[in-house]
Structure 1
Amino acid sequence: MPPPPTPDVDMGVEEALLSGMPALPTGSRVARQRLPSGTDILAVEVPSARKVRLVAAVGAGYLDEPRERPGLAHLLEHSLFLGSRNSPQPGAFAAWVGEQGGRYNAKTDEFVTDYHLSLPPAAAQEGLVRLIDLLVRPCLVTSAISREIEVIDAEFQARLADPALHRQAVLSRLFQPDHPAADFHAGHRGTLGKGSASLCEALGDFHDTHYRAERISMVMLGPASLASQFEMLEPTCSAIPDGARPLNRQSNARWASPAYLQWCLPPKQASTAPKLEMLWPLSSSLAEHHAALLDHALTTLCDGRLAATLQEQAAIADMAATVRPEGTGPALCLTLTLTPRGERCVDRLLATCLSAVRELPSRLVIQPCPYPLISETDLDDYALQLARRLAQPPSTEHSDNHGDNGFQCAFDELEACLAPSACRIMEEKQGLDADVEYVPNTLTPFRRVSWPEGRASTSAARLAPCPAPRIALQDYLTRGAVASSPTVAECLGEHGSFGLWWAGGSGQQDSSWCLGWPAPRKTQQVRLAAWHQHTLALRQAARNAAVTLTLGGDTRGDWLRVQGEPQGLESVASQALAAWAVVTPDSPRGQARSLQPRSSQPSVAPAGLLAQRMLACLGVPFPRHDAQPLGKRILSWSMGWLGPSEYLSASQRLATQASELLDYSCGVVESSHETLSTSVAGAPRWLAPQGEDHALMLQIDGPDDTPVSRLLMRLLADAHDSAFFQELRVHQGLGYVAAVRYREADGWPRLGYVVQSPHADIDDLQEAVKCFLKQKGMALARLGEATLARRLDGLSMQWGPPETPGEAILASWQALRHAVIGSSLSTAMPPTATALILRPWEVMEHALVDVTPEALEEFAATLFAEAPRQWWYHSPAGYRRL
């Protein structure tokens, strides 16, 4: 099986730098230069890219900060946005990015701090100049830093309700006490003080030490040629001053002796689905020089066998494996999300997993390297990962594992690393009742327990092994044409329960096959979660057969997409359909055949800040109430090397199976999304208590889902966001999260005005949001011609032609569902034409012409005066009547 195509690589790009990275779109090129000052610059030319990604990565993180100043690196990251030499006003950088319709963010990691933004191509040069100014010429004003410490403290207090913070706290107990990784690094008022002169001096010293050319990497990814990108990068990045001081990192090993820790969330925190995490530390040299070997080990571990074995006992809801876990350095990490049944047999799960990992080296020897585990390309993440890799200094560990005998040495080292005795274990539980310790600062409860190493080698302790799902390969004799594209769909007529559409060949080696059918809306969330759970082993096995399985659902029903080698598509689709019928609670057939009792489904609480949880609610549609009986029609669409005759034959084989699986009469399905009704809007919705903050979100739905309404709603979000932040967070000091976001629920546009505060209550927050809209809502919607033109460029960046083949296929599939299914799922779905042009992005481009300052002002006046409003609340005490 050949690997996926790689981009054209220019001189200076080592193979290891791109190892394990997903394939870029056809025609992409990558080139690297190291400037005389020491700055690494990397240009990535992607002709189909709609926007430019700029990522600056600094090779210093929270493990490099002085041990007497915990949180200093994170504070510096925040402080850079408080003003720079050329833009001294706090928030100026954010305001400029918002005016362009762009996005920015930053993150402080162990050894790297990154700053990234996306912009329209026309703004790339100025964006690069502003980013460098922010990075190397910060103002670092004491008064501004003092205010930012309060923000960081409030952020930390809110993160005490986030399971990820407590997981990191417990993880630190597995490290040597004298290693920086064992320290607390999040930072808060207690560790940072109140912004004294000495703290500002320490900030400046940390900046002068690390934010220098030798330690900075810059990546630009966009549609411009490599030469054009270097014309921007070279002179701008050459202005970065050099003079970085040597890194003073401890050479002692981070990991303490192997241990088994049980932990839980502090009292009053929202419960989550408990996880069982197993960690095998790896050397830095192994991770740097033998990434292909480690990726092969992951592929073998995640081939469906282990997942099928664990799910046979209904013990896990999910399984994940990585060699780049958060907060550990190089390590093989295997994480199981446990069901209640799994919580009762943790010893057997451990024995089974440790045995599977111990046997990995022998399986690597006898197994050829399969298709690599590479996800579809996310260009934002691609640029970010490359910058982080460039900023990581080479390992100081001595290694001769990359010489002539390097592979065998690396293999022997990996075998030693994966011994059961080398494993560290963290088990999350619902609560602890004895021998409890607490991690300082976060007060995370944990305890140390003993677990006999010999149990992993006892066959009686392990679960009986199950084979991976078998992917039957269909031998197709002919191939599809190569002249068409995923933007054209030809109707081949009805075949059994299938409405068949075909897009011809794609000119690529892989193929896609999408299926969609009616499904009950009222149980969709539970059903889709169970469907993902029951197809875990199938998705892993399919990936090893070069097929990717994607599952989804919305108000038009449920759907699946299989993509990859055409020989395996039918088998994967068939098994995915069978799994859907098993987990569908509305079907008597599904209930009788359920592999797992519904009572064993874990209850999962959302993670992250309260504001993030609220914004996620914007993606959940309010269904209409004109419910109709479920139909049994399946919309089928294929493209690629799967030719029309093979497609017809495969559809015929699936038709009988699908008709039986969808043959039930109970349940109803709602036809489409509906905007908020006055009765619905009158009842506030409360989130389950999580943490001590108050939070509030005002949701406003658009009047319809037309392209013009979607564009105008997005313009309003961009126009209000920065001003809302300045008014509620900076001027009124109500909270550290204050944002306006645009979201869509099955294509229906929504605005969310969200505030999270550690001190202001719901009444104050609600009054502040109302006053903002009343006093500034319309004024901010009155955009001048020049401002509107910039904002429309930003919208073109968001809604333009697809950047990747995967994005084009998914957009075309959803456009076909919209066109063919329409508003009624119970009809026979007759097509209105024998062929459809599926280019939804062109519809948005045409709608841009109708967006004028007058249209935006009129739309805003009607929206703010007439649109029903939905309020979302969170209070530490839970629901209370206002």
Structure 2
Amino acid sequence: MSDTNSHVTLANGLQLTLRHAPHLKRSAAALRVHAGSHDAAPQWPGLAHFLEHLFFLGTARFPLEDGLMRYVQALGGQVNASTRERTTDFFFEVPPAALAGGLERLCQMLAEPDLGIERQRREREVIHAEFIAWSRNPQAQQQFALLQSVAGNHPLSALHAGNRYSLPLQSSAFQDALVGFHQRFYHAGQITLSLCGPQPLDELERLGRRLAGIFKRAAVVPQAMPPALASDEPLLFAHQGLPTGAERALALLMANLSDNRPGSWLGELQRRGWLKECKVEQLYAFAGQLLWHIDLKLNPCADNSEALKLLHGWFGYIRQASPTTLNQAFGLLQQRRQRSAGALALARADSAAQPFAALDNQGLTALAALLEQLPQRAYHPWQLPEPDPLLLDEMPAHQAVALPPSLSVSSLLPPTRHHAALFLRWHIASPLRRPLQRALESALQPLQMRCEQAGVQLQFSGAGDYWQLRCAGHPAAVVRATAQALTSLQAPCDWPSPAPEAPALIPIRALIGQLPDAVLGSRAEPRAHCAADQTQLDDAWQHSRWHGLAVGFDTDALQALGALLQSCPGQGVSPSPAARWAGRRWQRANVPGSENALLLFCPVPDGQQGCGRLLAQSLQGPVYQRLRVELQLGYAVFSTFRQIEGVGGLLFGVQSPHASQAEILGHLHVLLRDGVTLDEHARKALAEQFDEPAMANADVAEWAWQARLAAEPDDLRGLKRAILDVRQADLDGLLRQLLAEDHAWLCVANAAAPDSSWK
């Protein structure tokens, strides 16, 4: 069944958008306030973002421990917010039965916030920590410098990141501005609320009418018109006076710009061996203004001037192309994106009036106006690529071939979900494993760009002595993408070119990237490019051993997999049980960034995953309250249960501008010693998350794969029973085991171990 949509204007003036999507497992709400950082007084940079943070600190009706964030996290959902230039978005995704509880908390915290001065003081320090991290992040600074090039006095060129000094809490003028901003913009006239889920439209409408009615009725506040927008940067495009629908028109243009198949601009750069990396991004849209950027990285052999001429020639060609042909291809792409999108992505697209659909007449008019404002010339013979085979629903022609014994098949995800995942994992004994991996990453990059466009996740990664390929999405697309990936992996066409450098990550994210290596007992090596060739790769493949897992495929798709895996390199084997270690290990990681960061991973003993998951769930609130709210260690604080390389355990992460790694570890140790109290309601809620109909398709596939790595059955029902059977004595006993000096702990940090007790 296809989605059905409805739009309703409530009595208080709030715009309510509804989507009934029967294929979804979860429900989501996305609330957009039409006001952002550019709508605050310029003397208070960061005021709008500061207010967004304050909303999440709880209210009299829903205090922090029962607020939106804790409520959603306890249900295994997603929740976040984002302050942009002219909008502020709040959004969450939960099981359908919990949508009402989440929406009630969201509406109440925005309509009746607690702006007490003490919580302002605490949260300002978190904002300041974010500002410090932002100011030290090369990517963020590059984008800020790019926006500085915007001509004139447009607010895009100003600083809008708040910090300890731009938010003078002691100033009565600032307090008046903070309260005034809330009163001026956080009312029904400025709000669009989107609800999406498997519930019928009338049920979603009743929910929206009942809970969004809390917002006061007020007239729409006209947002101040910005000054003229212009740019002299050759790959930064500024538009003025565009008609309604310009953002969707830009989405069509960006989809074509990101197409790297023969006949396209990127395809031509790739054919010449010039293309290293390209990202097209919309930076700003408001009142007929658009600003977007092509972040193009070329190889040293490239002619930059010629690449720009080719771009302008391609613009000219697209302007002359049939809008109907362009829109048909775009509609096919959007259809796949909609079908692969989860509830949260659909709700956010609806709240932004950017649905996953082809352009309407308004959008086509905007496309013509957009193309009119682009530099163009008659240059180079171009052609529009044919529709991408990755978008086809039909399985490719194949012979009926039995699956290799080394590929397991999980029935956890029914084929009716139209989502499948294939995991292939090779043990590579060659000492050239790392440099060969760089070449393979480079070889796969063009295909990964296509997959990203088509709603397919294609990942190639390495950890320890292993290479792993993961492909997930529509089953037919997974089969086609995997076939192309295996061809590229066995015979890269461009050996001299290393994979592009990954963008610099904040320290805590960089540590997370190194965690699989640490669990396997190896160290992530620098990404230096070393010479390697086809002979060495052939030898590595010949001596490799592989196994894999298929999830979500029907009989016909499994036969297609059997056919393509006939060419899978290496010898098939059965997986070995996941690696375990004893005692405490400390791994120092050289990662960019000056802030202190630490990950603590505490594996749970075999057979205690149910208890371990409930313990991790019970610790989330105390960890956040103590480290983030009370001690204000930093804005990056989390705790969760994570399965890594088949090993399940509690994972804690903290990044702090002032607390040392030893101090962070000490705080975590105290929290573990303090213990937890069994909450029967939380136990039941956690157990319910492990029903296949309640889990995201990607989570089901990952669960099955981690069970395969651990050489254990993928028994979700067994895990659910184990969680429901947990008692207080079980939690206490597991904590004693974890705190024992000989129990396995793993710390990954950007500093040396604090003492000799860590190996």
Q: Name the TM tier (shorter chain).
A: 0.7 to 0.9
Matched to 2:458, the amino acid is T
Per-residue deviation at 1:718? 2.4
Among 576, 582, 586, the residue aligned to 2:491:
582
Task: Give the aligned partner of residue 309 of structure 1.
Answer: 268
Task: Give the aligned partner of residue 697 of structure 1.
Answer: 599
Percent of residue pairs bearing the same amino acid type: 20
Where does 1:258-407 land on structure 2 (aligned, <5 Å)?
258-260=232-234, 278-282=235-239, 285-286=242-243, 288=245, 291=248, 294-295=251-252, 298-299=255-256, 302-305=259-262, 306-312=265-271, 314-322=273-281, 324-325=282-283, 330-331=290-291, 333-338=293-298, 341=300, 345-364=303-322, 367=325, 369-370=328-329, 371-372=332-333, 374-375=336-337, 376-389=340-353
Q: Helix, strand or coil: the match of 2:113? A: coil
Query: Are residue 855 (structure 1) and residue 730 (structure 2) matched?
Result: yes
Query: Are residue 757 (structure 1) and residue 656 (structure 2) matched?
Result: yes
Contact 2:37 / 2:49 at 8 angstroms: preserved in 1?
A: yes
Contact 2:511 / 2:589 at 8 angstroms: preserved in 1?
A: no
Once the two structures are superposed, residues 646-701 of structure 1 have per-residue CA deviations (whole angstroms, 9 ceiling, x without a partner) of: 947x855763x44xx5489xxx99945313443xx33342342413x223332222
Per-residue deviation at 1:67? 1.4
Q: Helix, strand or coil: the match of 1:239? A: coil
After the TM superposition, which of the residue ranges 633-642 and 859-868 deviates more from structure 2? 633-642
Q: 1:258 to 1:51 in 2, by over 3 A?
A: same
Contact 2:35 / 2:185 at 8 angstroms: preserved in 1?
A: yes
Task: Give the aligned partner of residue 613 of structure 1.
Answer: 510
Task: Give the aligned partner of residue 374 of structure 2.
Answer: 418
Contact 1:179 / 1:250 at 8 angstroms: preserved in 2?
A: no
Matched to 2:619, the amino acid is H
How much is the aligned-residue C-alpha RMSD, in angstroms?
4.8
Query: Are residue 157 (structure 1) and residue 158 (structure 2) matched?
Result: no
Task: Give the aligned partner of residue 274 of structure 1.
Answer: none
CA distance, structure 2, for counterparts of residue 613 and residue 123 of structure 1: 34
Task: Give the aligned partner of residue 620 of structure 2.
Answer: 721
CA distance, structure 1, for counterparts of residue 743 and residue 85 of structure 2: 46
CA distance, structure 1, for counterparts of residue 418 and residue 79 of structure 2: 34
TM-score, with structure 2 as normaliser: 0.80
Query: Are residue 845 (structure 1) and residue 720 (structure 2) matched?
Result: yes
After the TM superposition, which of the residue ranges 43-52 and 522-531 deviates more from structure 2? 522-531
Q: Helix, strand or coil: the match of 1:604? A: coil
Q: 1:99 to 1:879 in 2, by over 3 A?
A: closer
Where does 1:577-726 land on structure 2 (aligned, <5 Å)?
577-582=486-491, 595-597=494-496, 600-604=498-502, 606-608=504-506, 610-618=507-515, 620=517, 622-623=519-520, 630-631=543-544, 643=556, 647=559, 655=566, 657-658=567-568, 661-662=569-570, 671-678=576-583, 681-691=584-594, 693-704=595-606, 708-709=608-609, 711-726=610-625
Among 3, 7, 20, the residue aligned to 1:7:
3
CA distance, structure 1, for counterparts of residue 245 and residue 592 of structure 2: 43
Unaligned 5+ residue runs, structure 2?
523-539
Among 676, 679, 682, the residue aligned to 1:790:
682
Q: Helix, strand or coil: the match of 2:333? A: coil
Q: 1:289 to 1:194 in 2, by over 3 A?
A: closer
CA distance, structure 1, for counterparts of residue 160 and residue 693 of structure 2: 42
Matched to 1:558, the amino acid is Q
CA distance, structure 1, for counterparts of residue 19 and residue 391 of structure 2: 37
TM-score, with structure 1 as normaliser: 0.70
After the TM superposition, which of the residue ranges 627-636 and 551-560 deviates more from structure 2? 627-636
Contact 2:91 / 2:344 at 8 angstroms: preserved in 1?
A: no
Task: Give the aligned partner of residue 518 of structure 1.
Answer: 426
CA distance, structure 2, for counterparts of residue 231 and residue 37 of structure 1: 15
Per-residue deviation at 1:619? 5.0
Q: Helix, strand or coil: the match of 1:867? A: coil
Matched to 2:296, the amino acid is L
Matched to 1:417, the amino acid is Q
Contact 1:82 / 1:140 at 8 angstroms: preserved in 2?
A: no
Q: 1:499 to 1:493 in 2, by over 3 A?
A: farther
Q: 1:542 to 1:684 in 2, by over 3 A?
A: closer
Contact 1:714 / 1:742 at 8 angstroms: preserved in 2?
A: yes
Contact 1:812 / 1:840 at 8 angstroms: preserved in 2?
A: no
Among 98, 107, 114, the residue aligned to 2:82:
107
CA distance, structure 2, for counterparts of residue 152 and residue 765 of structure 1: 20
Contact 1:739 / 1:753 at 8 angstroms: preserved in 2?
A: yes
Contact 2:7 / 2:16 at 8 angstroms: preserved in 1?
A: yes
CA distance, structure 1, for counterparts of residue 721 and residue 135 of structure 2: 47
Task: Give the aligned partner of residue 533 of structure 2.
Answer: none
Per-residue deviation at 1:607? 1.9
After the TM superposition, which of the residue ranges 755-764 and 555-564 deviates more from structure 2? 555-564
Query: Are residue 864 (structure 1) and residue 717 (structure 2) matched?
Result: no
Unaligned 5+ residue runs, structure 1?
10-30, 261-277, 392-400, 421-455, 481-490, 584-593, 824-837
Aligned length: 721
Per-residue deviation at 1:763? 3.6
CA distance, structure 2, for counterparts of residue 55 and residue 523 of structure 1: 48
Contact 1:628 / 1:670 at 8 angstroms: preserved in 2?
A: no
Q: 1:677 to 1:345 in 2, by over 3 A?
A: farther
Contact 1:149 / 1:195 at 8 angstroms: preserved in 2?
A: no
CA distance, structure 2, for counterparts of residue 182 and residue 44 of structure 1: 37
Task: Give the aligned partner of residue 167 of structure 1.
Answer: 142
Among 452, 458, 475, the residue aligned to 1:550:
458
CA distance, structure 2, for counterparts of residue 737 and residue 407 of structure 1: 40
Q: 1:534 to 1:282 in 2, by over 3 A?
A: farther
Per-residue deviation at 1:740? 1.9
Q: 1:673 to 1:287 in 2, by over 3 A?
A: farther
Where does 1:353-502 land on structure 2 (aligned, <5 Å)?
353-364=311-322, 367=325, 369-370=328-329, 371-372=332-333, 374-375=336-337, 376-389=340-353, 409-410=365-366, 412-420=368-376, 493=402
Q: Helix, strand or coil: the match of 2:280? A: strand
Contact 1:696 / 1:871 at 8 angstroms: preserved in 2?
A: yes
Per-residue deviation at 1:869? 1.9
Q: 1:510 to 1:56 in 2, by over 3 A?
A: closer
Matched to 1:788, the amino acid is E
CA distance, structure 2, for counterparts of residue 773 and residue 125 of structure 1: 33
Per-residue deviation at 1:872? 2.8
Q: 1:233 to 1:151 in 2, by over 3 A?
A: same
CA distance, structure 2, for counterparts of residue 798 and residue 502 of structure 1: 16
Matched to 2:294, the amino acid is L
Per-residue deviation at 1:547? 9.1
Once the two structures are superposed, residues 463-510 of structure 1 have per-residue CA deviations (whole angstroms, 9 ceiling, x without a partner) of: x99999997999999999xxxxxxxxxx96467x9869799x988798
Per-residue deviation at 1:572? 4.8
Q: 1:772 to 1:50 in 2, by over 3 A?
A: same
Contact 2:28 / 2:94 at 8 angstroms: preserved in 1?
A: yes
CA distance, structure 2, for counterparts of residue 867 and residue 156 of structure 1: 38
CA distance, structure 2, for counterparts of residue 759 and residue 573 of structure 1: 46
Per-residue deviation at 1:110? 1.6
Task: Give the aligned partner of residue 72 of structure 1.
Answer: 47
Contact 1:100 / 1:793 at 8 angstroms: preserved in 2?
A: yes
Per-residue deviation at 1:36? 1.4
Contact 1:45 / 1:224 at 8 angstroms: preserved in 2?
A: yes
CA distance, structure 1, for counterparts of residue 18 and residue 385 of structure 2: 45
